[in-house]
Structures are given as C-alpha cells and as structure tokens.
Amino acid sequence: MKAAILQDGKISVGDLPDPTPGPGQVLVRTRRCGLCASDAHFLCSGHSVVEKSREFGMPYGSVDMTKPIVMGHEFVAEIVEYGPATQRLIKPGRRVTASPIGLMGPDKSQVAIVGYQNEFPGGFGELMVLEEPFLLEVPDDINDEVAAIIEALAVGVEHAHVGNPQPGDVPLVVGCGAIGLAVIASLKLRGIAPIVATDFDPGRRALALKLGADAVFDPRELSSFGPMSDIGGRTPNLIYECVGKQGIMNDIVTKAADGATIVIGGFCLDPEQIYVPVAQMKALTMKFARGDGPEEMKIALDAIAEGKVDMQPLLGETIGLGEVEKSLLAMSDPSTPVRVVVDPSRM
C-alpha cells in the first residue's frame, strides 16, 4: 500500500506491505483522514514522547521511531474484508469510523493507539486494520471529509464530560483549535449556557460562535476571569484549557475565580509549573482530560448525523499523501484551517 511514512523524524511517501487482519479485526481502505495537532507533535517530538512513555508506562512506549510509522487517527474508511473470529455485522464496502484503539499481545490486553504504533498503521495510508468491536457505520448523508473528523468531536465530548458541567455553570474554553471548538460544541449539546471562549485569532473566535459559544474574547484584553459584562456580569466557574503550551496552566490558575474547576485538555509536552499557594487559597479543583473512547465516538457520530453539530466550518482543503508533512508543520499557524484532510488515494 501507499502511505505517508514517518521514520527518523521525516515523512516521505512510499510503499509498505498491506496489513493483514487478525482475529477480531477488520481490513479497511482509508477514504479520508484528518491531520491532528498530535500528529504534528509526534512528527517534531516523537522521540521525546516515546522516551517519556517508556519512563512512565504510557501507550507510546513500544514504538520504534527507526521503523516505519503511519500516523493518522481521525479517519473514515470502507470495509474490505474481515479477519477470523469476527461477527461481520457491517457489510463490506460500507463506510466506518472507529475509536483509534488497537489491541496487542497474545491475550489482546495491551492497548495501542492506531497511527502511533508500528503494528497499527493509521489513516495516512491506503489500508488499516481496526478492531471490529469499535467500528461505527457512517450514514450515507455524512460526507467523507466531515466523517473523518468525528473523532475530533469525540475528544471534545470526553473533555466536556470530565468537567461534569451542571445547569448554572459558566464554562470558559481557553483556546479555539479543533479540541476547544469540539468542547464548545459538546457543552452546547448538553444544554450548558452561557459558554465563553477565548483565543488570540479572530477567525478562531468567529468559529467558536458558530459552534455554540455565547461570548468570545481576545486573551490580550482579558486580565482575569472575573465577572464578564458580555454574559450579564456572571463569572466563569468551569475552565477548559485547550491550548497545550507551557505556562498556560499557571496563567489560568492565577486568573481563575475562587472555587473554579479547571479541566486540562491541552497536550503540553514540556514540564508545567503552577504556583500552588494561589491554587490552594482559591480552593481550585484541577482535572485532567484524556481522550475519546467508543462511547464518545457514538455520541459524536449521532450528533453530526442528527444535525446537532456542524463540523463543516472547521474543514480546509483535501490534500494528497505528498503534502502531509508540509501541512502538519503549518498547523501551528492559526490562519490555517482547523482541519486539513488527506485522501490517501491521491499523491
């Protein structure tokens, strides 16, 4: 199969052997795959991620960066064939998406992440092997590009859930990239209002309003997270950090109101510090969000299928495999689309 292959810190287009589905697995042909900031982090800092994973026992620890890796964990694909010991509930040729979870080991007790494991190539290649229990059939009226970023919305569903928002809460979403926007959409799904969002980029703030935010701010003009006139003088008490850059966590701690809950969803690869006495005196609660599972994927798929969330505004162009590295390196520029999608059948 053709794939955009990450090896030794560079991505190139090449050929790899077609993967073979084992027991409980399904061979699928990728139709589209979204480019995620996590992929950009792994391209630039994969060796560090793997090293820390080995130190702390995280899923990336068994990755060999000197061998081919095919990234891509936001995907829509069509079923090609089933492996042994499968139920075959979805017909071959039908489109599916899935939580990007792979199971390894003789008893399938080891969890891998599709696209971040040598043995589980992701959606930047023509073919993938997925676990049958995690498959979700995609309705015909969802186009490939939107279907490819269902997983991005599912992450927002999980992050929103971690905060346990209740009627009367006032959430503030810090950072309006893909995950921040997905958190906004997920909070809106839960009927929480008003939702406040902050981002440096005016285009991202405009998208936040489209996804369900009630008020948006430029953080350079917001010195604290106290009473806000745009929402009737109310004060945010549930803050979602969706930036993932060093220093953001402590900045939120210093600005948050007394008794606030802070949900950390940004994936910061650098050590982070907070001034603990401030957090203590304010009696802050801090929670850490992780990522989606099958339940969140189903919620996200249903929300899109039922027209409750429109992910189309997040999408930019559809590219071929040869443009993957360039597009990933450009993701840090907020003027770029929130999501670029790759079609692995195109070079």
What pLDDT band is residue 57 in, cutting at 50, 70 and 90? confident
Q: Report the alpha-carbon distance of residue 171 to residue 193 in Å, rounded.
A: 8
CA nearest 28: which of 106, 110, 83?
A: 83
Please check whether residue 138 lies inside any domain of the structure: yes
Q: Which of 205, 212, 195 is nearest to 153 (CA)?
A: 212
pLDDT average, residue stretch 7-17: 95
What pLDDT, on the 0 to 100 scale, is given for residue 334?
86
Are residues 209 and 234 in contact, defined by beta-carbon separation less than 8 angstroms? Answer: no
Residue 250: pLDDT over 90? yes
Q: Comparing C-alpha atoms, which of 25, 6, 222 is closest to residue 122?
A: 6
The residues with which 5 forms a beta bridge, in sequence order, are: 12
Q: What is the mean pLDDT of residues 334-340?
A: 93
**Residue of 6, 1, 96, 103 lying closest to 324 (CA atoms):** 6
Give pLDDT, residue 237: 98
Average pLDDT, integer, range 134-147: 98
Tell whether the model's pLDDT for residue 62 goes beyond 90.
no
Quick one: the chain helix, strand, coil %, rounded to 5? 30, 25, 45
Q: What is the pLDDT of residue 292?
A: 92
SS (H, E, C) 55-90: HHCCHHHHCCCCCCECCCCEEEEEEEEECCCCCCCC
Average pLDDT score, the chain: 95
Q: Are residues 176 and 191 in the same domain?
A: yes
pLDDT at site 104: 86
Does 174 lie in the same domain as 130?
A: no
> How many domains does one find in the chain?
2
Pairwise CA distance, residues 32 & 308, whole Å: 22
Helix, strand or coil, per DSSP, at residue 203: helix
Q: Are 323 and 131 in contact (CB under 8 A)?
A: no
Between CA 72 and CA 40 the distance in angstroms is: 11
Whether 167 is in a domain gets the answer yes
- Kindly state the average pLDDT of the residues 294-311: 98
SS3 (DSSP) at 296: helix
Residues 83 and 98 in one domain: yes
Is position 294 within any domain? no
pLDDT at 59 over 90: no
Confidence of residue 221 (pLDDT cuts 50, 70, 90): confident
168 and 250 co-located in one domain: yes
Q: State the residue range of the domain holding 180.
A: 153-288
Residues 112 and 165 in one domain: no
Based on the fold, state whether residues 158 and 277 are members of the same structural domain. Answer: yes
* For the chain, percent of residues with pLDDT exceeding 70: 100
Instruction: Give pLDDT tens digits for 151-175.
Output: 999 999 999 999 999 999 999 999 9
**First-last CA distance in the chain:** 12
* DSSP E strand boundaries for the chain: 2-7, 10-15, 25-34, 74-82, 95-98, 101-104, 110-113, 127-131, 135-137, 171-174, 196-198, 215-217, 238-241, 261-264, 285-288, 315-319, 339-342
Whether the CB-CB separation of 113 and 120 falls below 8 Å is answered with yes
Q: Tell whether 6 and 144 lie within a shared domain.
A: yes
> Would you state the pLDDT for residue 267?
85
Instruction: Look at residue 108 in the predicted model and tell me its pLDDT.
Output: 83
State the pLDDT confidence band at 97, using cuts at 50, 70 and 90: very high
Q: Are residues 35 and 129 in the same domain?
A: yes
* CATH at 58: 3.90.180.10
